[in-house]
Structures are given as C-alpha cells and as structure tokens.
Amino acid sequence: MIGAVYNVGSLIVDLIVCIALFVALTIFFIRKKSILLLAIYGVATLIFVGVVVLDFYFVLPITKAISQIIAIFMVVAVIMVYQSDLKVMFFNLTKVREKNTEFETGASDEEMRKTVDEIITACQSMSKSRTGALIVIAPTSVANHILETGVELGATVSAALLEAIFNTRAPFHDGATVIKGNKVLAAGCFLPLSQSQTVSKSLGTRHRAGIGITEESDMLTIIVSEETGIISIAKRGELRRFITPDRLRDILHEALKISTPAKYRSIK
C-alpha cells in the first residue's frame, strides 16, 4: 500500500515537472518566434509523459532509457541553439558592481551631455584618420571579468584621452575601452566574440567583439572601422552601420537617459 502511494506521488510530481517545463519552454519559444521548435518539443514532451504513465503500469526499461536519452538530447540542443540567450540570463543573474565604484560621481545631465560630445568628437576624428576603435557604453554595471582583462583607469572622458587610447602606438589600442557615466573605467579590455552566423564575413574581430558583448548584456558599443572609417553601433546583438554624429548623439542620449536640449534634437 505504501509503495502504491509512493508511486502515485512520484507520478504526480513527474507530471507537474513536465507541465512546468513545457509551459516555460512554450513561453520561451513563442517569444523567440520558434514555432517549429515549439511543436517538436511539444511532441517530445507528450511522448515523455506517455512513457512515464506507461512505466507506472508496465515495466519498460528500454523505452524509458530511450526517452531519457531523447530528453537529454533536447536539453543539449536548446543550450546549443540559444547559448547567447543563456549568456544574457546568467550575466544578469551574476551581474556584480564593478570595482571602480570609487570613481563614480553621479554625473549630472550637463556633465553627461559633455561626455557624449567628447565621445562624438573622438569618433569623428578617428573616423577621418581611419583609426580603429571599440568603445563600450555601460548604462548599468560592468562585470569584473571584463574589466580585469584590461587596464583600469577611472579617468574623466575626453576626446583627447580616447584618441590617445586608440592611437596605433598605444599599448592597448586593439582592446575595448569601457565607459560608464562620465568615466573611462578601463582600456584594452577583451570582449567575447559573437558566434552569430548573420554577421557579415567582411567584418573583422573588432566588430564581432563589439556585437558579442551586446548579445549578453545591456551595453552598447561604438565601433570605428580601421579600414573604412565607418562608425557603427551595436546593441542587443544587432549592428547598425554608417552612423552620423547627430544619430550617434540621439542613440547615446537615449541609452544613458539624458534629456536632450532642443538645439541637439535631430529628425530621426
């Protein structure tokens, strides 16, 4: 009698877990517009539940083993296909306050507008001279493992500083410079490269790194091409090229939540 109660209880728990997972995956796939995968996982879930129910009445060791292998395969498939989304999730769960908090000043809107102007001036200058640059703008916190790959600065943002950092003779011009507020937190940082197959083959490592960090965080990146001088913006894993100074100002003001004076407003 006790064994029967235990088996019924186990079956109920199994069904609840399966239903919960199915609902979670359904919501996830609908948000990702992956209807085909949703259908495949729906069929797989029904088969798995059916095996659990049949195993309650009959001894089906081979069928149960096969269903477990299929379940493991499906889990691995989700991890491989949606690894970028999982990176974002884990980044948000483990996001910590950066070490450079002593450099934060709570910059005013006026100071932030000046910071944006300095960034735009530097980008225009580097674009004309075709100096490659990769600037990370962090609206919130920056993971320590990113900052630790570079040299911590904590200096106030200026066009001269940015141009000096990305000067081809500078020791860390090939890395990324991370900016938060009106401070340059670190320079020469290494970023994860995007593994997306949609990124053009004509784009190099700098662009892939600029896209990669935005796939797993809320940061945006400004990329100046060394070959063409084209200014690009990467955000949420998407790259927009041929960014004008006015458009760059609008994007930065929006990302940093800065109120834009009328003299700076441009037609979008």
Percent of the chain with pLDDT over 90: 39
Mean pLDDT within 149-168 = 94
Q: How confident is the model at residue 172 (pLDDT cuts 50, 70, 90)?
A: confident
Beta strands at 151-156 and 176-180: parallel, antiparallel or unpaired = unpaired
| 13 burial level (CB within 10 Å; 0-12, 13-18, 19+) | exposed
Q: Which residue has the tokens 């798995």?
A: 48
pLDDT computed for residue 3 by the predictor: 46
Answer with the residue of higher pLDDT: 136 or 90: 136
Mean pLDDT within 247-262 = 84
pLDDT computed for residue 99 by the predictor: 47
Percent of the chain with pLDDT over 70: 74
Give yes or no for a contact between 177 and 164, defined as CB atoms under 8 angstroms apart: no
- What residues contact residue 73 under an 8 Å CB cut-off, 6+ apart? none
What is the tens place of the pLDDT at every residue in 21-59? 777 777 776 766 666 666 777 777 777 767 766 766 666
DSSP assigned state of 159: H
Spell out the domains of the chain, with CATH numbers in brackets: 2-81 (no CATH), 99-264 (3.40.1700.10)
- What residues contact residue 224 under an 8 Å CB cut-off, 6+ apart? 123, 126, 127, 131, 132, 133, 134, 166, 230, 231, 232
Q: How confident is the model at residue 102 (pLDDT cuts 50, 70, 90)?
A: very low
Strand intervals (E) in the chain: 133-137, 151-156, 176-180, 183-189, 220-224, 231-235, 238-240
Sign of CA dihedral 109, 111, 117, 123: negative
Q: How confident is the model at residue 84 (pLDDT cuts 50, 70, 90)?
A: low
Buried b (16+ CB within 10 A) or exposed e, 43-71: ebbeebbebbeebeeeeeeeeeeebeeeb
Give the integer Cα–Cα distance in Å for 92 and 87: 9
Closest CA to 29 of 20, 21, 38: 38
pLDDT computed for residue 90 by the predictor: 63
Give the integer Cα–Cα distance in Å for 174 and 202: 18
Mean pLDDT within 1-30 = 68
Closest CA to 26 of 15, 38, 36, 34: 38
What is the tens place of the pLDDT at every residue in 221-251? 999 999 999 999 999 999 999 999 999 999 9
pLDDT computed for residue 74 by the predictor: 73
pLDDT computed for residue 196 by the predictor: 79
What is the tens place of the pLDDT at every residue in 118-127? 999 999 999 9
Mean pLDDT within 155-159 = 96
- Flag whether pLDDT at 101 surpasses 50: no
Give the integer Cα–Cα distance in Å for 257 and 236: 17
Mean pLDDT within 206-231 = 93
Give the integer Cα–Cα distance in Å for 85 and 98: 23
Task: Fill in the amino acid letter for 75.
Answer: V
Mean pLDDT within 103-123 = 86
Give yes or no for a contact between 224 and 116, defined as CB atoms under 8 angstroms apart: no
